[in-house]
Amino acid sequence: MYNLLLCLFLSLILLLTACAPAAVQTEPPTEAPTEAPTEAPTEAPTEALTEAPTEAPTEALPEETEAPTEPPERPEHTVKIQVSVNCDCTITNAEGQTVRWEFDGSPEGDLLIYGTGLSGFGVGIDPMQSWEVAASDSFTFETSSSSCAFYAEIGDSYYSVSGTGVTGIEFRDGYIKLTGSEMTYTILTNSHARERQYFRITGTGTTEIEFPIEDVLAASPIGETYRVERCTV
- Closest residue by Cα to residue 216 from 167, 173, 181, 174: 174
Q: Give the count of beta carbons closer than 10 Å to the beta carbon of residue 35.
A: 6
Question: Which pLDDT band, with edges at 50, 70 and 90, does 24 fall under?
Answer: very low
Please tell me the distance from the alpha carbon of residue 151 to that of residue 89, in angstroms, as a whole number. 13
**Residue type, position 65, single letter:** T
What are the domain boundaries of the chain?
78-232
Please tell me the distance from the alpha carbon of residue 112 to that of residue 134, in angstroms, as a whole number. 8
- Does the pLDDT of residue 147 top 80, yes or no? yes
Q: What is the pLDDT of residues 160-215, one digit of tens each?
A: 999 999 999 999 999 999 999 999 999 999 998 888 899 999 999 888 999 998 88
Q: What is the pLDDT of residues 89-114, one digit of tens each?
A: 999 999 999 999 887 778 899 999 99
Q: What is the pTM of this model?
A: 0.65
